[in-house]
Amino acid sequence: MEKSFFLVALSLILLFSTVNSLGFEEKDLVSEESFWDLYERWRTHHTVSRSIDEKHKRFNVFKENVKYIHSFNKKDAPYKLKLNKFGDMTNHEFRSTYAGSKVNHHRIFRGSPNGTGSFMYEKVTNIPPSIDWRQKGAVTNVKDQGQCGSCWAFSTVVAVEGINQIKTKKLVSLSEQELIDCDNTDNQGCDGGLMEYAFEYIKKNRGITTEENYPYTAVEGTCNLSKEKSRVVVIDGHENVPENDEDALLKTVTNQPVSVAIDASSQDFQFYSEGVFTGDCGTDLDHGVAIVGYGTTVDGTKYWIVKNSWGSDWGERGYIRMERGISDKEGQCGIAMEASYPIKSSANPPEKKASHTVDEL
Ligand SMILES: *[C@@H]1O[C@H](CO)[C@@H](O)[C@H](O)[C@H]1NC(C)=O
Ligand SMILES: *[C@@H]1O[C@H](CO)[C@@H](O)[C@H](O)[C@H]1NC(C)=O
C-alpha cells in the first residue's frame, strides 16, 4: 500500500520534471543491479518503452553510454555531457536518425542552388561584441524533430522566422511540415534535405504557412494544397555566406539568424549538456541547425549560439554554444562550410481577418 503511494508520488514527480534530464550518481554505477535500476528510472523519465528482448540489448548500450558520460564529466573539459533521451541509442543509430540530413550527399551528387551569387553583408563593419536574436524576440521556442531526418526544414524555418520578425516586428512560428510534405522536388522529407532548396521552394510557392495551420507530425505525408496556399510569410530567395569564412558568417549573424550545416555525429554531440562545445568532430556535414547569436565567455572563449531541433531537454534548453574562430577555416564541426540565409524585401500577404471563425459561429 505504502509502496504504491510512493510510486504514484514518484511518477507525478517524474511527470512534472520531464523537461530536465535524469541525473545519476556514483552509487548508480556500482553494480549490474544499480545500473538496471538507473535504466528503468531513465526509461520512465523519458517515457521510452522497449520490448523485453530489446531491453536487454539496449541495457548494454545504455551502460556503456552512462560510463562514457561519467568518465567524460570527470575531465576538465569546457563543456559537459548529460544522460539525455538518447541514452540507450548507439552512436550509429543516433547518427542515422538525428543527424540524417545527408547534406554532403546532396552537395556531391546534385550540386546545389547558388543563391543570387552575391553576399549582401560584404561591407558590414559594425560588429557588436555579442548578439542574441532570442533576446530581440526573433526566435521561436525550441522545437523537436522527433525520429525524422527533417533537421533541414527546422533549420530553414528558424532563419525565415528570424528575418520575418526583423522585417515585420512580428514573430510567427512557421511550418516545417509544409516543407516536408510539399517541397518534393529536391528535398526528401524525413530522409534529409538542404536548406537552400527549401528557401527556393518558399520563394517559388510565394510564401510559407504557420506552424499552427500546418502542424508537425514527424512523418512525411501528402502535401495539403489548401494549407500550402494559405501563405503567411514571404521571402525572396536566399544567399549563401562565402564558404569557410567565419568573418563573413559573423557579418551575417549580426544582421539575421543563419542556417548552417554541421557534423553532429560525435558521441559528445549526442550527449552535450552545457558549456562551449570544443569537442572533436569532423566536417562530414550531416545536420542542419541555425545560428541565432554569438558571444564570448568570461575566460575569452568565443562561441556561436546554435538553435537545435532535438527538443528543449537537449543541451542548454535546446541550444548549443559552439566554439567560434578556431584555426580551421571550416569552423567547429564545419559550421562555416555551408551557411545560407533567406532574403526578404517583399511584404507578406495581408492578414485574413479570421473569417473562418466567423463562419463557425
Ligand atoms: C553554380 O555555380 C557553379 C560553380 O560555381 C556553376 O558551375 C553553375 O553553373 C552555377 N549554377 C547556377 C544555376 O548558376
Ligand atoms: C487539408 O487541410 C484542410 C484544413 O486546412 C482540411 O480541411 C483538409 O481535410 C485537408 N486535406 C487533406 C487531404 O488532408
Q: Which one of the ligands is nearest to 112 CA?
A: 1
Give domain status of residue 358, yes or no: yes
| Among 46, 91, 151, 187, the one annotated catalytic | 151
Atom of ligand 2 at shortest range from CA of 227: 5
In a domain, 66, yes or no: no
- Residue 131 included in any domain: yes
Looking up cell 566536417, which residue turns up? 283
How far is it, in rounded angstroms, from Cα 179 to Cα 187?
Answer: 8
Q: Which pLDDT value is given to residue 102?
A: 60
Range of the domain at 332: 99-361
Does 154 have pLDDT greater than 80? yes
Q: Provide the CATH number for the domain around residue 206.
A: 3.90.70.10
Which of 171, 169, 241, 231 is CA-nearest to residue 201?
A: 231
Active site residue 287: yes
The reply to whether 46 falls in a domain is no
Q: Output the CA 185–ligand 2 centroid distance in Å.
A: 22
- Evaluate whether residue 89 is within a structural domain: no
Q: Is 41 within the bounds of a domain?
A: no
Residue tagged active-site, from 46, 84, 308, 333: 308
Q: What is the pLDDT of residues 276-293, one digit of tens each?
A: 999 988 888 889 999 999
User: Which protein residue has the closest C-alpha to ligand 2 atom 1?
Assistant: 224
288 domain residue, yes or no: yes
Kindly calculate the radius of gyration of the chain based on its CA atoms and give it in whole angstroms: 21
SS3 label, residue 233: strand
Q: Is 220 helix (H, G, I), strand (E, B) or coil?
A: coil
Whether the predicted pLDDT of 185 surpasses 50: yes
Tens of pLDDT, residues 210-261:
999 999 999 999 999 999 999 999 999 999 999 999 999 999 999 999 999 9
DSSP element (H, E) containing 195: helix 195-204
pLDDT value, residue 351: 82
CA neighbor of 88 nearest in space, from 133, 127, 57, 112: 57
What was the pLDDT predicted at 113?
A: 59
What predicted TM-score, i.e. pTM, was given to this entire model? 0.88
Please list the residues that pair with 320 across neighbouring strands: 306
Distance of CA 227 from the midpoint of ligand 2 (Å) = 7
pLDDT surpasses 80 at 56: yes
Per-residue model confidence as pLDDT tens digits over 296-349:
999 999 999 999 999 999 999 999 999 999 988 999 999 999 999 999 999 999
Contact 200, 160 (CB under 8 A): no
184: annotated active-site residue: no
Which of 45, 106, 287, 333 is an active site residue? 287
Name which residue leads in pLDDT, 27 or 144. 144
Question: Which atom of ligand 2 is found nearest the CA of 213?
Answer: 5
* Spatial distance between the Cα atoms of 143 and 152, rounded to a whole number of angstroms: 13
Q: Pairing mode, if any, of strands 258-262 and 272-277?
A: unpaired
The CB of 217 under 6 Å from ligand 2? The reply is: no
Q: Which residue has the cell 567524460?
A: 72
Residue of 175, 217, 226 with the most ligand 2 atoms within 8 Å of its CB, for mutation: 226
**Contact 118/252 with Cβ under 8 angstroms?**
no
Closest CA to 341 of 171, 173, 155, 132: 155
Q: How far apart are CA 320 and CA 155, in angstroms?
A: 14
252: exposed, middle or buried (Cβ count in 10 Å: 0-12, 13-18, 19+): buried
Confirm whether 88 is domain-assigned: no
3-state secondary structure of 259: strand
Contact by Cβ (8 Å): 257, 290: yes
Nearest atom in ligand 2 to 224's CA: 1
User: d(Cα 222, Cα 239) in Å, to the nearest integer?
Assistant: 29
**Residue 151 annotated as catalytic:** yes
Distance from residue 108's CA to the centre of ligand 1 (Å): 13
- The closest ligand to the CA of 115 turns out to be 1
Q: Measuring from atom 9 of ligand 2, which residue has the nearest CA?
A: 224
34 CB less than 6 Å from ligand 2?
Answer: no
Question: What separation in Å is there between the alpha carbon of 186 and the centre of ligand 2?
Answer: 24
Q: d(Cα 105, Cα 338) in Å, to the nearest integer?
A: 13
- Looking up cell 535524469 gives 22
> Using CA atoms, how far apart are residues 103 and 106, in angstroms rounded to an integer?
5
Task: Tell me which ligand sits closest to the C-alpha of residue 111.
Answer: 1
Q: What is the number of structural domains in the chain?
A: 1
